[in-house]
Amino acid sequence: MSASRTSRRPPPLLALVHGCAVLLALGALGCVLWTGLEARGTALAFGVLITVGELNRRSGPHVREAAPLGAAGALSYALLGENAGAPTHHGAAQVVTVVLAASLVGSVPHVGRGQGPTADQLARRVLTVGFAAVCFQPLYNQGTFTRWDGPAYALLLLALLSLTALCDAVLAAALAHSRTRWPFGPLLRDELRALLGIGSAVVATGAVMALAVAVAGLWALPVFSVPLLLTQLSVRRYAAVRSTYRQTIASLARATEIAGYTPAGHARRVAALSREVGRELGMSRPELTVLEYAALMHDIGQLSLVDPVPAGATAVLPLAEQRRIALLGGAVVRQTGVDAAVAVVVERQADPCREQPPAARIVRAVNAYEEKARDAGPGGPLTALEELRLGTAGDYAPEVVEALARVLSRDCLTSPVTG
């Protein structure tokens, strides 16, 4: 019983981050209830903007910023000092309260569909907006920034927003590391790379909104929201194309199962486990995508065989036959129009270990593990790992086998999933 309770306990970092976010939100709400709401019209306008941004939230895997318009509006409100030339005098507590309230209201429809923001996303939004507001609002209200004017003031806002975005990237990587135990370095690298895409658009829009409202008033909000909405629409369409692309690859991978060459779900299991091993070894997101696609299509060369391999177990075939099937598979992948990097991995999965690219080493080891574990009975997973370790002298890369063992131990994957 105690073990089960311990396993359900959230990691310390998650509890710390969520606790800080809750304390900040409660403290901000209490302060606003005590002092009252300043500049209610401005607060309402930004609240509506953030709500609209949350209503346009998009969900799905690998989504760096689910609600870019809401994020830009929140950061803009945190760094707002004037409205049409008149000081706003709202503080950091009011910023956090308005942003959190608007985010929750805009998330209601998504929560009803089971696609609402996670606790990590809400905690990040509260903490990052609170950080930006604490860095700006007290100093601005005290007149510290009065000597900053024109381009210098714009650069100041961009610097504060960039620092906030960097803090958010570190926080996101740390939360993901705490939940998954994946290496922190690659997670942070992916987060920083994402800042060059939609992240830079959010930062730029937040700065422009704050500057425009300071000069032209609240009418600037809808005008400067349009570019980010169009960017979000383009990103959503690109994500839909990528999703269709992946579904096409998955359908091609199932051709060997439908034809009876490989067991049902084999390609999907190898792809999922290969991606986990790739993360464990510190691969970047683009490298993981190539790895996943290659793992899905690693057996497609078997379609050229006259007589199917029993249970599709190519790991037990002579090395020359494995290479022939791999080369045939690579040729098929090239004809489908899939990225050439995927074809290279498929072609070289049977090459000598030292000559293989990292993705090919992973696919080879994971495929062998899945086949051996599936056919070895109740003790199959341990037996399969031991056989892979014994084969690391020439057949399998030692670092890949050890990463596979860590993934299986961490995720309790002691047997292959069937079906």
pLDDT value of position 96: 95
Q: Which residue has the higher pLDDT, 200 or 31?
A: 31
Whether residue 335 is predicted with pLDDT greater than 70 in this model: the reply is yes
Q: What is the mean pLDDT of residues 286-314?
A: 82
Q: Is the pLDDT of residue 65 over 70?
A: no
Token reading at 14: 């998650």
The structure's pTM equals 0.75
Rounded-to-integer distance, Cα 153 and Cα 364, Å: 56
Res. 1: pLDDT tops 70: no
Query: pLDDT band for position 8 (50/70/90)?
Result: low
Look at residue 252 and tell me whether its pLDDT is greater than 70: yes
pLDDT band, residue 198 (cuts 50/70/90):
confident
Range name among 9-23, 215-229, 236-250, 405-419 with the lowest pLDDT average:
405-419
pLDDT score of 20: 93
How many whole angstroms separate alpha carbon 273 and alpha carbon 408? 9
Burial class (CB in 10 A: 0-12, 13-18, 19+), 306: exposed
Residue 413: band (very low, low, confident or very high) from pLDDT cuts 50, 70, 90: very low
Predicted local confidence at residue 2, as pLDDT: 40
Looking at residues 411-415, what average pLDDT do you find? 47
Q: Is the pLDDT of residue 3 over 50?
A: no
Query: Does the pLDDT at position 342 exceed 60?
Result: yes
pLDDT of residue 28: 94
- Tell whether the model's pLDDT for residue 284 goes beyond 60: yes
What CA–CA distance (Å, rounded) separates 405 from 390? Answer: 13
Q: What is the DSSP letter of 284?
A: -
Q: What is the pLDDT of residue 5?
A: 38
Q: What is the pLDDT of residue 9?
A: 60
Whole-angstrom distance, CA of residue 303 vs CA of residue 259: 8
Helix 266-280 crosses helix 220-253 at what angle (to 10 degrees)?
Answer: 120
Q: What is the pLDDT of the chain when averaged over all its residues?
A: 82
Q: How far is CA 304 from CA 287, 320, 327, 330, 332, in A?
A: 28, 15, 11, 12, 9
Please report which confidence band the pLDDT of residue 216 belongs to, taking 50, 70 and 90 as the band edges. confident
Q: Indicate whether 11 pLDDT > 60.
A: yes
Burial (CB < 10 A; 0-12, 13-18, 19+), residue 261, is buried
pLDDT of res. 184: 85
Residue type, 81: G
**pLDDT over 60 at 50, yes or no:** yes
Question: What per-residue confidence (pLDDT) applies to 44?
Answer: 93
Section 82-94 average pLDDT: 87
Per the model's pLDDT, the better-predicted residue between 382 and 74 turns out to be: 74
Mean pLDDT of 360-367: 90
Coil, strand or helix at 135:
helix
Per-residue model confidence (pLDDT) at position 326? 86
Give the per-residue pLDDT at 418.
Answer: 37
Q: Which of 112-116, 134-138, 230-234 has the largest mean confidence?
A: 134-138
Find the mean pLDDT for residues 229-258: 77
Q: How far apart are CA 248 and CA 192, in angstroms?
A: 30
Please give the average per-residue pLDDT across 174-185, as a whole number. Answer: 84
Q: What is the pLDDT of residue 376?
A: 60
* Mean pLDDT on 386-406: 81
Tokens of 20: 């800080």
Q: Residue 129: its pLDDT value, please?
A: 94
